[in-house]
A and B are shown apart, each in its own frame.
Chain A
Amino acid sequence: MFSPSRSSTRVSRDNDTAVITLSMDSTCDLCEGEETPLCVKYCACGARKVSR
């Protein structure tokens, strides 16, 4: 299912400046068990990256 309530990350945009912010909460485990975090794999713009 698609549900913001289950997401550990959030993208928001300041409409006065066009600054885009990605935030993640403490529940994010980078999709443990997956080769790539799903939000990175399916980021429509290809903007999300993992830096370890």
Chain B
Amino acid sequence: MKPHGYAGRILRVDLTEGRITEEPTIRYAERYVGGRGVNARILFDELSPSVKPLDPENMLLFGVGPLVGTLSPFCSRVSIDTKSPFTGGVGSANCGGHLGAEMKYAGYDNLVVTGRAENPVYLWLSDGEAELVDAGGLWGKTTWDTERAIRSSRNDNEVRVIGIGPAGENQVKSACIISDRAKAAGGSGVGAVMGSKNLKAVATRGILPVTVAEPERFIEAVDSARRKIEQFPKAKLYREDGYYGVESVYGSPAWEAGFRPVRNGQDDYWDPEKIKRVAGDTIKPYRKKILACFGCPVGCMPWMVVPDGPYKVEGEGWWNNSSNSFCTRVDCDDPEAAIKAHLLTNQLGLDGDNASVVIGWAFECYEKGLLTEEDTDGLELTWGNHDAVISLLEKLAYREGFGGFLADGVKAAAERLGGGSDEFAVHIKGQDSVDGIRVSKGWGFGVVTSPAAGRHLRGAIHSFSPERFLSYDSVPWMVYMQEQYKAILDMTGTCLYNNGLLSWETEASGHAAHHLAELTSSLTGMNLDVERFTRMGLQVHNLEKAFNTLHGGFTRRDDYPPKRYWEEPVKSGPYAGERIDHEKWEHMLDEYYGLHGWDLETGWQTRETLVSLGLTDVADRLEAAGRLP
């Protein structure tokens, strides 16, 4: 009998052999709940450090949590984990949409993909059956055309598709995996890994049931969560205008808090006249509808229409980071070009965050005379040249000409070019990092220490009030707590972006953990109070940390900001002169490692901490590799 709240099965697919097997989810669920938790355990247990990220032996795991596909709010997320082509450490991405629920109704909680198919294939999942299907006719297609073609061949417009575009096929490091044409599992080069396996897509459709352990208690928990969301003062505004529309209007502190580095991070403050041209209120006329993921009571993804002109385009997507990646980072203030660039990345299967970093770096190289038009296929990489940005996105995805030079990320490009260009190559642990970290200290510390390397979806603390975001006080503690809470979200399949609506009266989103504990307990029958749940979150975070130590060889020296942000202050605006205080950063690291029970000198985990978390086997493996202090 399958457990309540789960589809009940993990699917294993060996693409080299064309072999498909199954195992029960319950084998992992009791300790790691689901989604990223189960993925992290399998990845740590089964992947040898000798395997390189684009080797066939690397693993690509998709996981949905127990709350996905139920009435629980915000529960649509799919976690995708692998060994990252950027860092050699853990690669972890996450997306919403409708695929997660459909995958569960098709009968699977997790997919574990290994090997490399001889020819392109896609994986078809339907009502407990799995099949590898020839995808030769799909290879070369954009993510949008891939979805159209699969739906057409299945004669079913409700098939859910997650897959790669040309960028993933060409193993570009900034390739992501796109679900529902718009939801990007971005970062960590997950799309490149999928491409290296000749796996074009996963398509799914199902009607299998998900049972509930305690229905009345579960419905009470759903009602309680929904009441909380309804009480959020901006709930109605969010529904009407979306997150970007509400929080990124002109004058919002988000524009000044340093989240959006300017001109490849030369500054963290942008000309107000340029902000006005791409702020939330200016973008509004292009937004024709707000769309929601499965089970989401808010909805944050807009349907954008540029009706005519050179950037004519229509499709889903424009997000907070879009105004970073396609505006401030390259100094472009044309909203229509920026919308075009965002939707183009969705089609090509490029992660805009990663891609814009290496593009911004190329612009700065051009500014400094390290690159000329002879190097850039004739493109004039002057700040604000949005046509060049759009051209480079295409070249990057196809590894065409100068795009091929950029396709392995900013660290590799700077090493090849030399000339001191590594001074402003913004990467963390080897991964291109889009986030600004000099002004908002909790955000920055979370981004830099993230096991997923330079990404804000682990411990980064989001605050818009200057007295909070400028302060170093309590940052290690808040990041430490946020890491655990984020793990709970990813284990259950809950969205980070809107979950703050379950804890809107405080600045600590982790206060929503009691909602998730009650929802998951009543759904699955597991007795998950907040204390037990957060301990599980710590276990998952520590599994990823151990993977990084074992595979990536990371130590304390990898928990420092990129050189530019370590040495250069913000140049203008209200926070001009703001920089990272080196002594305070060292103190934060000491305090953070101390909270985790990790060694202060090396940054490695200790046997004592791992044993206390029930991870003795992890300690044994680290010790055998000489990676315990």
Contacts and interface: CB of A to CB of B under 8 A. Distances in A.
B316 to A, nearest CB: 7
Contacts of A2: 69-71, 209-210, 212
A5 B209 contact: yes
Nearest to B222: A42
B206 A14 contact: no
Given A15-B147, A18-B291, A44-B292, A6 B209 contact: yes
A26 interface: no
A4 interface: yes
Interface residues of B, number: 31
B71 A4 contact: no
Given A4-B207, A46-B297, A18 B289 contact: yes
A3 interface: yes
Contacts of A45: 239, 292, 296-297, 299
B207 A1 contact: no
A46 B230 CA distance: 11
B584 interface: no
Contacts of A51: none
Interface string B209-243: 11110000000001000000000000000010000
A43 B212 CA distance: 19
A1 B295 contact: no
A24 to B, nearest CB: 15
B208 interface: yes
Contact of A12 (B70, B158, B239, B288): B158
A13 B290 CA distance: 13
A23 to B, nearest CB: 11
B444 to A, nearest CB: 34
A36 B483 CA distance: 40
Contact of A5 (B69, B70, B181, B207): B207
A12 B105 CA distance: 16
Contact of B207 (A3, A13, A14, A18): A3
B157 A1 contact: no
B299 A4 contact: no
Contacts of B208: 3, 5
B303 interface: yes
A40 to B, nearest CB: 13
Interface in B305-343: 316
Given A3-B208, A15-B147, A44 B295 contact: yes
A15 B181 contact: yes
A42 B71 contact: yes
A14 B71 CA distance: 23
B69 A12 contact: no
B209 A15 contact: no
B267 interface: no
B115 interface: no
A37 B60 CA distance: 41
A18 B316 contact: yes
Interface in B127-159: 144, 147-148, 157-158
Contacts of A42: 71, 222
Nearest to A18: B303
Contacts of B288: 18
A1 B292 contact: no
A10 B102 CA distance: 13
B296 A44 contact: yes
Interface in B169-208: 180-181, 206-208
B209 A3 contact: yes
10 contacts: A1-B210, A2-B71, A4-B206, A4-B207, A10-B158, A12-B157, A18-B316, A42-B222, A44-B295, A46-B297
Q: Report, nearest first, the 7 A-B pairs whose CB atoms are least far apart.
A: A3-B209, A5-B207, A18-B303, A4-B207, A1-B209, A1-B211, A2-B210
Given A2-B71, A2-B212, 14 more contacts: A1-B209, A3-B208, A4-B207, A6-B209, A12-B157, A15-B316, A16-B148, A18-B291, A42-B71, A44-B71, A44-B292, A44-B295, A45-B292, A45-B297
